[in-house]
Amino acid sequence: MKSLLLALTVVLSLGSARASDIIDTARANGNFTTLLTALSLTGLDKALESAGPFTVFAPTDAAFAKLPAGTLDILVANPEVLKGILLFHVAAGEFPAKKLLAQTSVTTLQGDRLAVFATPKAVQVANGRVVAADIKTTNGIIHVVDEVLLPSSRSLDVIKADILALAQSFQGQGDADFSRQIALQKLVAELLSVRAQAPVSDRLSLIRGCWQQVWGPYDYRNNNRVVYPMLGVDYIYQCVFDGYYYNVSRQYKNGDRSRPRIGMLRGKYVLSKTDANGLDVRFTKLFSVKNDTTQVENMYDLPPFAEAGRLQNRLRTLPAIFVRLFFEGGTLRELYTDESVRILLGSNGKNFKDNYLYVMSRVK
């Protein structure tokens, strides 16, 4: 997390030692002419010169230029609509990058919640990304964003369908340059803006169950973003129980597709003390089972047998002391959960840049 914060934090040099408020700071920067004009037209410039404090997600002139032709003219002709959009960019109170990264949303002065979540490459806010953070002023903080932030007008089901379709198109593909995760993060932020999520402690009953990975990490052992050749990418499941869960996957010995088997990694989880949406995980056992098991119809039904010590056709079992040599554990940050879809970020807990987006669908 520290490296991301350092990358996002900028020093604003104005050629003057005098501290400035939000409006004066934006004016001195020179890249917010359109924003300042819009604030003046709606009278919000005076509000942002008051004591505050405020956090402003400020679109640059280049961000406004991305709007479809004629959009800005329409907004200028409808100042109340324009005012609502501008208020969607402002939150009461100070949300520096460190605090922002620990949240999934902030409430804006417009009234809607602005979805927020961090990825290794950026902090996503609604449909935009923070490109410069923590510009300090006398009455708050400015975060520069690369898009004009807009409340979503699309339905929850439509957004979910788009996420699943895009994730499905990525299935079986690695993500060494983060391009696939970044493509998904914009849709996930839109989803979170439409349906805010309760803390994970209130969602545990919804999280329990078995989920199939539509897209996510394909190399757990080496902690990179390529595809582990022994892993069957179409058959990856996570089955969550009360206080523990199992990752269940099809695997192929030495990458030989004619030699399938089933791998089962058991983890214990507790509520994170530092993240309201986090589950801290440590791994306790690793099982390997012959693929010809007759105990169950579906491989994701095997965990209860492993938990009860009645797993048949077992090839090997590694206890926790050895498992932790290969699997570090870390934190699962539960971004979104409903009856059919689960989206989370997984981190090894040591280095914030080593985290992965999972898109999952419920199987039972």
In this predicted model, what pLDDT tens digit does every residue of 78-105 receive, in sequence order? 899 999 999 999 999 999 988 877 777 8
Residue 245 has pLDDT above 90, yes or no: yes
Mean pLDDT over 140-169 rounds to 92
State the chain's mean pLDDT as an integer: 86
Query: What's the predicted TM-score (pTM) here?
Result: 0.76
In terms of domains, do 227 and 122 share one?
Answer: no
In terms of domains, do 85 and 204 share one?
Answer: no
Instruction: Let me know if residue 176 belongs to a domain.
Output: no
Write down which residue in 125, 145, 165 finishes a domain: 145
**Residue 314: per-residue pLDDT:** 85
In terms of domains, do 99 and 219 share one?
Answer: no
Of 273 and 11, the structure prediction assigns the larger pLDDT to: 273
Q: Which residue has the tokens 């709007």?
A: 67
Burial class (CB in 10 A: 0-12, 13-18, 19+), 146: middle
Instruction: Let me know if residue 192 belongs to a domain.
Output: no
Whichever domain contains 233, its CATH number is 2.40.128.280
The DSSP code sequence of 267-307 is EEEEE-SS-TTEEEEEEEEEEEEETT--S-SSGGG-HHHHH
pLDDT digits (tens, 9 = 90+) for 118-150: 665 668 888 888 999 899 999 999 999 999 998
Of 349 and 10, the structure prediction assigns the larger pLDDT to: 349
**Residue 182: per-residue pLDDT:** 82
Instruction: Let me know if residue 268 belongs to a domain.
Output: yes
3-state secondary structure of 329: coil
* 10 band by pLDDT with thresholds 50, 70 and 90: very low
* 296 band by pLDDT with thresholds 50, 70 and 90: confident
Instruction: Let me know if residue 220 belongs to a domain.
Output: yes
In terms of domains, do 356 and 250 share one?
Answer: yes
Domain range enclosing 116? 2-145
Whichever domain contains 82, its CATH number is 2.30.180.10
Number of domains within the chain? 2
